[in-house]
């Protein structure tokens, strides 16, 4: 009813306007047709007068009025010719037909005939008057007055008007009818669209691979509302990021509530547990990997499946028929699914493209990246093999897949192709360089496209997110919305967010098992045969050129040069876990470090004292923890590092709130751990001075700094890292699910 009233409000003026137009058109037409008729009648009159010239001349010259009378009678038999007369030059009627009104003089006729509309009304109705001069044979000039019936003309004009009015009326009705139907339909569409917008349906971005269902005319409104909604979401995300006390329980409950207990699949190159052959049988080893350190506790909390390269010498012996083994070995919480790689695959994909190409490319640590076509082919093929494994392990069409690191840049898009509804969270554990540096990679676009198959793409710092977005901006046709931290490529949106990775904060039970600090210190002194009063500095790294081990040793050397009081007393213990030793670059680097160690020890060593102790072997977590607890200072001097978890582990190990952390400003962790002594590792003098400052730092300052660092790491633990990511995933999944439901209902209705 309301819509009808609205439509009438629109239709009435429309109909009135049409009626006015019809009236105007008909009066114009009337004038026009009358003008045509007048002209026709004038022409016709002139023709009649010309035709009668001779007859009139004869009749007048012979003075035979009867003949003229007969002519008049004949002529006025024409139904349109009402009357006629012959007027002399003096405008007196010489002869007139009987029907010619006696009160009408030739002068009257002359003045009416000169008018634009020479019509008058006589007893019989409207007539047209014309006066046509003719010259007779004898040279006499007379005029023939003709009175022609114009009723037929008026009749025709009236008929034309009637037809026109009928036509306009019909047209008006047709237009009104069409308008009503269209208005009714689009009103319903609008109302339905607006209602669905208000419900929030049209505000959801279509799930990957589908098209938005919002009516095009409502798109601006939907766009605006979408913006508002995303602002709210952003705020919600930020608010959630601030919350403290993330624990395994909280992560588990998040999985149950926000992810409805959906399956979680992790993919990484390095496996969390390596089974190796040893003289005493099969032993289990935990690799030196920040990635594994962070993701493993998350998997223990989430269960699910972890897919990784089975690289241990006894790995094949420990899996079941499906290449799976439950881990941790002492109390299996989740499944480890191993993928076997041939030597050729490992050489091309892992050593070649990942570690000779992408690793130096992203770290910009002055080692040239090497890109070989054959490595790239292996990289693609191995990524595809892992994608197949993800599909095989998926129990539903929409698992949550956590893709780890630069070994799998192509994997997200490959998974997306086979499981379009999967939620893919990719975490890039290493830095992302600026667009110019990244641009030297021959397959830069393929890599970006592969990564943008992710639902969420995580980096450690805002800075790396910014670099990534700028790289995409430079190399791909994608829509970037920095205010919402999203990149839309090929119709699918990826959230680019920073999630600073961290460690599992030790539980009180774990801490209770640790030996006291003094005991740890004594154990280290004894084991390494250090001077009894030694001041100990430690470094714990993979034996990698990005870690700044060389620069650190130069700083130790400078310390001993500049502050001789430390000679014989200060020992720097460096744990360097062997890594990627098959690569020449690594062998050369490791050899160089050995040589520098020897040189420094030759220069400042004494019997029973070596200032640098290089322990280039794998150390398990307990051994490293003992070292951390024994140390006066811990040096993390990476030349470039995504985050670096060693510094966080050192902080976690120092429940006595003692010990000083030296931290490179080029490690992601420097943005969080502000109370460390922040150094530029390339500046040897500065690092040496920082070492001296650490060794001489008063206890209260140590305590103050360490207490603050511990609060930061405890709050920003690895459960928060995973929790924030999974909460974002849950939110996006919910959005996709609602959208899919709305579309299903829409297609049914």
Residues in the chain: 749
Nearest distance from C-beta of residue 486 to ligand G6P, angstroms: 25
| Residue number with CB closer to ligand G6P (542 or 710) | 542
Q: Which residue in 28, 24, 40 sits closest to 157, CA to CA?
A: 28
| Residue number with CB closer to ligand G6P (246 or 459) | 459
- Asked if 429 touches ligand G6P (CB under 6 A), the answer is yes
| Residue number with CB closer to ligand G6P (96 or 580) | 580
The number of CA neighbours under 13 Å toward the Cβ of 319 is 22
Cβ atoms of residues 639 and 362 within 8 Å: no
Pairing of strands 423-427, 400-404: parallel
Interface residue with ligand G6P, options 291, 298, 365, 538 (CB under 6 A): 291
* b/e map 296-310, b = 16+ CB within 10 Å: bbbbbbbebbbbbbb
Residues between 571 and 590 that touch ligand G6P (CB under 6 A): 579-580
- Asked if 426 touches ligand G6P (CB under 6 A), the answer is no
| Residue number with CB closer to ligand G6P (346 or 493) | 346
Nearest distance from C-beta of residue 430 to ligand G6P, angstroms: 5
Nearest distance from C-beta of residue 457 to ligand G6P, angstroms: 15
Contact letters for ligand G6P, residues 130-169 (x by CB under 6 A): ----------------------------------------
| Residue number with CB closer to ligand G6P (119 or 429) | 429
Would you tell me how many other CB atoms lie within 10 Å of the CB of residue 500?
21
Nearest distance from C-beta of residue 270 to ligand G6P, angstroms: 4
- Asked if 289 touches ligand G6P (CB under 6 A), the answer is yes
Nearest distance from C-beta of residue 230 to ligand G6P, angstroms: 31
Stretch of 158-166, 289-297, 531-539, 687-695 contacting ligand G6P, by CB under 6 A: 289-297
Q: How much helix, strand and coil, in percent to the nearest 5, is found in the chain?
A: 55, 15, 30
Contact letters for ligand G6P, residues 524-553 (x by CB under 6 A): ------------------x-----------
Task: Tell me the C-alpha distance between 80 and 84, whole Å.
Answer: 11
| Residue number with CB closer to ligand G6P (292 or 651) | 292
- Asked if 497 touches ligand G6P (CB under 6 A), the answer is no
Stretch of 177-185, 237-245, 286-294, 476-484 contacting ligand G6P, by CB under 6 A: 286-294
Cβ atoms of residues 652 and 710 within 8 Å: yes
Phi-psi region of 368 (alpha: psi -120 to 50; beta: other; left: phi over 0): beta
Cβ atoms of residues 275 and 287 within 8 Å: no
Provide the token pair at 281.
């049988």
| Residue number with CB closer to ligand G6P (429 or 613) | 429
Cβ atoms of residues 87 and 131 within 8 Å: yes
SS3 707: helix
- Asked if 356 touches ligand G6P (CB under 6 A), the answer is no
- Asked if 296 touches ligand G6P (CB under 6 A), the answer is no
- Asked if 430 touches ligand G6P (CB under 6 A), the answer is yes
Stretch of 242-250, 283-291, 650-658, 668-676 contacting ligand G6P, by CB under 6 A: 283-291
Q: Which residue in 458, 377, 393 sits closest to 424, CA to CA?
A: 458
Nearest distance from C-beta of residue 294 to ligand G6P, angstroms: 9
| Residue number with CB closer to ligand G6P (290 or 360) | 290
Q: ω before 198 within 30° of 0 (cis)?
A: no
Q: Which residue in 472, 475, 470, 466 sits closest to 497, CA to CA?
A: 466
Task: Tell me the C-alpha distance between 291 and 271, whole Å.
Answer: 10
| Residue number with CB closer to ligand G6P (359 or 566) | 359
Nearest distance from C-beta of residue 630 to ligand G6P, angstroms: 25
Task: Tell me the C-alpha distance between 633 and 537, whole Å.
Answer: 5
Cβ atoms of residues 76 and 83 within 8 Å: yes
Stretch of 288-296, 334-342, 413-421, 451-459 contacting ligand G6P, by CB under 6 A: 288-296
- Asked if 597 touches ligand G6P (CB under 6 A), the answer is no
Residues between 366 and 405 that touch ligand G6P (CB under 6 A): 405
CA distances to 243, 247, 333, 632, 729 from 298, in Å: 18, 10, 11, 31, 15
Nearest distance from C-beta of residue 381 to ligand G6P, angstroms: 19
CA distances to 176, 180, 182, 609 from 10, in Å: 10, 10, 13, 100
Residues 6+ apart with CB under 8 A from 8: none
Interface residue with ligand G6P, options 44, 95, 226, 270 (CB under 6 A): 270
Nearest distance from C-beta of residue 553 to ligand G6P, angstroms: 21
Beta bridge partners, 564, equal none
Stretch of 111-119, 202-210, 285-293, 332-340 contacting ligand G6P, by CB under 6 A: 285-293
- Asked if 290 touches ligand G6P (CB under 6 A), the answer is yes
Q: Which residue in 516, 596, 519, 605 sits closest to 552, CA to CA?
A: 596
Stretch of 70-78, 287-295, 413-421, 480-488 contacting ligand G6P, by CB under 6 A: 287-295
| Residue number with CB closer to ligand G6P (296 or 557) | 296
Crossing angle of helices 411-418 and 444-451, in 10° steps, is 50
Cβ atoms of residues 212 and 218 within 8 Å: no
Provide the Cα torsion 450, 456, 462, 465; round to 10°: 20
Nearest distance from C-beta of residue 277 to ligand G6P, angstroms: 19
Tell me which residues touch ligand G6P (CB under 6 A). Answer: 269-270, 289-291, 405, 429-430, 542, 579-580
């Amino acid at each position: 009813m309301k819509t009808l009233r609205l439509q009438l409000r629109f239709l009435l003026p429309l109909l009135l306007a049409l009626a006015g137009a019809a009236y105007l058109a008909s009066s114009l037409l009337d004038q026009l047709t009358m003008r045509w008729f007048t002209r026709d009648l004038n022409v016709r009159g002139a023709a009649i007068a010309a035709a009668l010239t001779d007859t009139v001349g004869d009749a007048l010259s012979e003075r035979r009025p009867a003949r003229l009378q007969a002519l008049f009678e004949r002529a006025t038999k024409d139904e349109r010719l009402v009357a006629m007369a012959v007027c002399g030059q003096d405008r007196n009627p010489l002869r007139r037909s009987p029907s010619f009104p006696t009160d009408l003089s030739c002068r009257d006729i002359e003045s009416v005939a000169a008018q634009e509309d020479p019509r008058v009304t006589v007893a019989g109705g409207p007539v047209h008057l014309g006066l046509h001069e003719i010259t007779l044979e004898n040279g006499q000039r007379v005029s023939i007055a003709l009175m022609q019936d114009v009723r037929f003309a008026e009749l025709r004009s009236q008929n034309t008007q009637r037809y026109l009015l009928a036509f306009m009326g019909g047209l008006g009705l047709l237009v009104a009818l069409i308008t009503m139907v269209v208005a009714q339909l689009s009103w319903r569409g609008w109302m339905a669209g607006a209602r669905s917008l208000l419900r929030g349906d049209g505000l959801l971005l279509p799930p990957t691979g589908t098209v938005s269902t919002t009516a095009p005319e409502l798109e601006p409104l939907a766009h605006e509302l979408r913006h508002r909604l995303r602002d709210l979401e952003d705020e919600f995300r930020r608010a959630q990021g601030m919350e403290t006390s993330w624990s395994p329980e909280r992560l588990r409950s998040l999985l149950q509530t926000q992810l409805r207990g959906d399956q979680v699949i992790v993919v990484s190159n390095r496996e969390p547990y390596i089974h190796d052959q040893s003289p005493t049988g099969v032993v289990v080893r935990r690799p030196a990997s920040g990635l594994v350190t962070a993701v493993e506790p998350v998997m223990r909390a989430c269960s699910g499946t972890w897919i990784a390269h089975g690289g241990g010498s006894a790995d094949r012996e420990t899996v079941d028929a499906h290449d799976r083994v439950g881990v941790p070995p002492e109390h299996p919480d989740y499944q480890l699914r191993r993928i076997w790689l041939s030597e050729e695959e490992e050489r091309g994909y892992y050593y070649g493209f990942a570690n000779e190409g992408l690793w130096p490319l992203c770290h910009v640590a002055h080692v040239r990246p090497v890109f070989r076509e054959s490595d790239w082919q292996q990289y693609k093929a191995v990524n595809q093999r892992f994608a197949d494994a993800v599909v095989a392990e998926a129990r539903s069409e929409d698992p949550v897949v956590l893709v780890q690191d630069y070994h799998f840049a192509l994997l997200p898009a490959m998974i997306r192709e086979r499981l379009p509804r999967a939620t893919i969270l990719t975490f890039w554990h290493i830095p992302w360089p600026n667009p110019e540096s990244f641009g030297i990679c021959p397959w830069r676009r393929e890599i970006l496209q592969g990564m943008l198959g992710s639902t969420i793409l995580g980096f450690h710092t805002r800075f790396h997110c910014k670099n990534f977005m700028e790289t995409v901006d430079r190399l791909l046709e994608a829509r970037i919305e920095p205010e919402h931290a999203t990149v839309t490529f090929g119709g699918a949106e990826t959230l680019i967010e920073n999630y600073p990775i961290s460690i599992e904060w030790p539980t009180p039970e774990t801490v209770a098992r640790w030996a006291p600090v003094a005991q740890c210190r004594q154990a280290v002194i004894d084991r390494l045969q250090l001077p009894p009063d030694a001041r100990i500095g430690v470094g714990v790294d993979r034996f990698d050129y990005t870690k700044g081990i060389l620069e650190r040793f130069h700083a130790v050397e400078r310390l001993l040069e500049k502050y001789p009081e430390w000679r014989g007393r200060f020992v720097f213990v460096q744990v360097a876990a062997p890594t990627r030793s098959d690569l020449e670059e690594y062998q050369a680097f490791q050899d160089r470090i050995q040589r520098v160690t020897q040189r420094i020890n030759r220069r400042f060593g004494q019997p029973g004292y070596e200032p640098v102790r290089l322990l280039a072997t794998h150390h398990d977590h307990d051994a490293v923890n003992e070292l951390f607890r024994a140390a006066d200072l811990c040096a993390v001097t990476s030349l470039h590092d995504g985050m670096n978890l060693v510094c966080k582990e050192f902080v976690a190990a120092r429940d006595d709130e003692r010990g000083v952390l030296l931290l490179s400003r080029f490690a992601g962790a420097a943005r969080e751990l502000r109370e460390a002594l922040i150094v530029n590792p390339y500046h040897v003098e500065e690092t040496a001075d920082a070492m001296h400052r650490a060794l001489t730092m008063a206890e209260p300052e140590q305590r103050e700094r360490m207490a603050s660092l511990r609060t930061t790491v405890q709050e920003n633990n690895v459960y928060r890292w995973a929790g924030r990511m999974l909460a974002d995933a849950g939110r996006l999944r919910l959005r996709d699910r609602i959208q899919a439901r709305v579309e299903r209902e829409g297609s049914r209705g």
